[in-house]
Structure 1
Amino acid sequence: MNIAVMGAGAVGCYYGGMLARAGHAVTLIGRPQHVEAIRRDGLLLDTRTFRQHVRLEASTEVNAVRGADLILFCVKSTDTEIAADEMKPHLKPQALVLTLQNGVDNAERLQARLSQVVVPTVVYVATEMAGPGHLKHHGRGELVIATTAASEGIAKTFAEAGIPTQVSDNVIGALWMKLILNCAYNALSAITQLPYGRVVPGESVEGVMRDVVQECVAVAQAGGVRLPGDAWQVVAGLVQTMPTQYSSTAQDLARGKRSEIDHLNGYVMRKGESLGVPTPVNRTLFALVKLIEARQATAA
């Protein structure tokens, strides 16, 4: 299969690299420092089970999506519309677009810009770019994709590449469950610049996380979302599988980059306001991250 990865950061490089390793023609579209290293040496997949340089195409140009049958859309939620508009003229009419992003509304926002089929996808993976062209995998790696005519075939392709993939008719519920995980962990890891395994045992942290989860569940239920399981149990269990992981929000702040907090705790805050559900703890975490971003912007 001909596959393009739009926004090949840590998530995109992991899935693109795994698919290339399985023999698919993959093009990563990403930042110059990574593209240069990948063109020279291949993508270093440094996973929990193997370490290997994988040869694949890489480009800094959006037009590299041309000819792709499948696009893994991995840009930051803040860049969804801009990236969609840049990509649109180069897409095959029959191309399939999977949204491998944080947040719950990216597929809807993307579909409003594109005529191609957009498939909401939930990502559970702990990764980081440890250096130019160096993908470090800390754990997990499974996907949940929405039900479409092509979904079973895509799931089979991914599974054969070592990517466990489930097709679900309740992807919105799964997206909300992932959002709740992100709301519980991301801001706390970002504000403290600590990995999950050091955040969770902190004094009074469990109470804060429980409050976040309770608010998120109340907003989801008020919006008619059916959550697939007990949200607190899912949140409490995550640290066991990813103790050394820093949240993507923490990684963004550490690099002086704008985070996705508007689409995490900020989204829950705004959705709660529209539904009449109070979200004071999510609001507080959102405000604190925004203050850090503002301080860094001023310092720059």
Structure 2
Amino acid sequence: MIKPNKTRYIIYGAGAIGCSVGGHLQRTGHQSVLIGKHGHIDRINESGLRLITPQDSYQISIPAVTSPSEIDWSWNDIVMLCMKSQDTEEALRSLVQTGVDTFNIPIFCVQNSITNETVAARYFERIYGVMVGFTGIYLEEGKVYNPVEGNAGYLEAGIYPSGIDDLVNQAVSDLSEASFAIQANSNIMTAKGAKLLGNLGNALRAICNGKGDEECYMERARKEAEQCLIAAGLPFEQRTELAGRTRAHRGINKLPANVRNQGSTWQSLMRRKGSTEADFLNGEIARLGKVYGIPTPFNRLLQRIVRDMARNQATPGKYTANELYKMAEELSLKPD
């Protein structure tokens, strides 16, 4: 039963994370609306969202549309951006075109990368960051796996660029009721910077599909990223600090039988989407490297290869991590 006089959560980006967040909010009485693509949304409207966790399988009746123009907007709406970063700016422009109050409607960036909040701030006044510390799996229309046992996953939320307010506390309370482990973080971009360092491996896992020594490659890619973030004055904490909080609060990852997952970029290749988030993860590091004169061959190579694989609709496993390492070292010897 939906709770009266409560905030309505507009989940823009009905993928694995968006459906996990929106589905759990809706099933625990917090009014939610999904915005997503035809096919997935059509299936949800036909038979509900199937949200599968290690404990239960839910068939959730939830309003779902394919455009923000289909929503009758209200003063108590909160927008949660949950799409991949390559789709963020188009989504924000679509929101603006609906005539929503850009000075008052809150935008929560429930996304990887550190680029989304800055883009959102060009269009909207009230921007919030959310660090996503759990995985979701979306490989089939109308069905999403939230493979976390004990709770729905770990989140941190705060004002962009820093701070906490009553709305953050309200979102924390509502998402806690929706079975997420979540806490407010006044330095949310520091946490998201650390998460970025981990997400740099999304492209590697998609390219290699588990083949080869990924850690050796990632050590070099993260070193490039840390140098770039420091040069740009962008905040990040040590990955071990964020990982410690995540382990302390998040439930146990438990994939269902016969379901694989090598990360969100791997899922994009498996679904043959034609694009991935790598331009806003590894590509953001490559951009910063260009600005500050820092070579970034290990990130640039991942960006280039996974982009080509997505364009050609190639499936994961094109190279091993060892082969990529040699290619990146060769690239590092070429003049930029």
- TM-score of the superposition, structure 1-length normalised? 0.87
The one of 221, 224, 240 equivalent to 1:212 is 221
Decide whether aligned partners of structure 1 residues 282 and 231 sit closer, same or farther in structure 2, where only a CA change above 3 A counts. Answer: farther
Counterpart of 2:177 (choices 146, 160, 165) is 160
Alignment-mate amino acid for residue 21 of structure 1: R
Amino acid at match of 1:206: E
- How large is the RMSD of aligned CA atoms in angstroms? 2.5
Structure 1 contact 124–141 (Cα < 8 Å) conserved: yes
* Amino acid aligned to 2:281: L
Q: What is the deviation of 1:94?
A: 3.2
Q: Which one has the largest radius of gyration?
A: 2
Q: Decide whether the 8 Å contact of 1:17 with 1:54 is kept in 2.
A: yes
State how far apart, in whole Å, the 1-side matches of 2:185 and 2:77 are.
22
Amino acid at match of 1:7: G
Given the alignment of the two structures, is residue 99 of structure 1 paired with residue 109 of structure 2, yes or no?
Answer: yes
Q: Could you tell me which residue of structure 1 aligns to residue 137 of structure 2?
A: 128
* Cα distance change of structure 1 residues 130 and 282 upon mapping to structure 2, 3 Å threshold: closer
Question: Is 1:26 the equivalent of 2:43?
Answer: no
Residues 93-116 of structure 1, C-alpha deviation per residue, up to 9 Å, x if partnerless?
Answer: 53221111221021110120124x
Conserved 8 A contact 1:138-1:245: no
Instruction: Give the structure 2 partner of residue 53 of structure 1.
Output: 59
Q: Which residue of 1 aligns with 2:155?
A: 143
1:259 aligned partner: 276
> Contact (CA 8 Å) 2:203, 2:266: kept in 1 or not?
yes
* Alpha-carbon distance change, 294 to 59 in structure 1, aligned in 2, over 3 angstroms: closer
Aligned to 1:44: 50
Gaps of 5+ in 2: 1-6, 315-336
Which residue does 1:15 correspond to in 2?
21
For 1:233 and 1:156, the matched residues in 2 are separated by 21
Q: Indicate the residue corresponding to 1:272 in structure 2.
A: 289
Q: Return the offset for 1:241.
A: 4.7
- State TM-score, norm by structure 2: 0.78
CA deviation profile, 1:157-203 (whole Å, cap 9, x unmatched): 111111121211221111111111110x21122112x2xxxx2xx54
How far off its partner does 1:279 sit?
1.6
Aligned residue type for 2:127? V
Return the alpha-carbon distance in structure 2 between the equivalents of residues 9 and 169 of structure 1.
27
Partner SS for 2:39 = helix
Q: Which amino acid aligns with 1:101?
A: Q
Question: For the Cα contact (< 8 Å) 1:76–1:260, is it kept in 2?
Answer: yes
Do the aligned residues in 1 keep the contact of 2:107 with 2:120 (CA within 8 Å)?
no
Distance change in 2, residues 1:124/1:232 (3 Å): closer
Which amino acid in the other structure matches residue 270 of structure 1?
A: R
Partner of residue 263 from structure 2, selected from 247, 266, 272: 247
Higher mean C-alpha deviation, range 158-167 or range 134-143: 134-143
CA distance in 2, matches of 1:205, 1:13: 30
AA in 2 matched with 1:24: H
Aligned partner of residue 102 in structure 1, secondary structure: coil
Say yes or no: does 1:225 pair with 2:234. yes
CA contact (8 A) 2:139 2:270 kept: no
1:69 aligns with 2:77: yes
Q: Distance in 2 between matches of 1:229 and 1:56?
A: 38
Paired residues in the alignment total: 286
Which structure: greater strand fraction? 1
Q: Which runs of 5+ in 1 are unaligned?
A: none
Flag the structure with higher helix content. 1
Q: Percent identity?
A: 28
Map of 2:94 onto structure 1? 86
In structure 2, how many angstroms separate the alpha carbons of the residues matched to 1:64 and 1:87? Answer: 11
Name the amino acid aligned to 2:218.
Answer: M
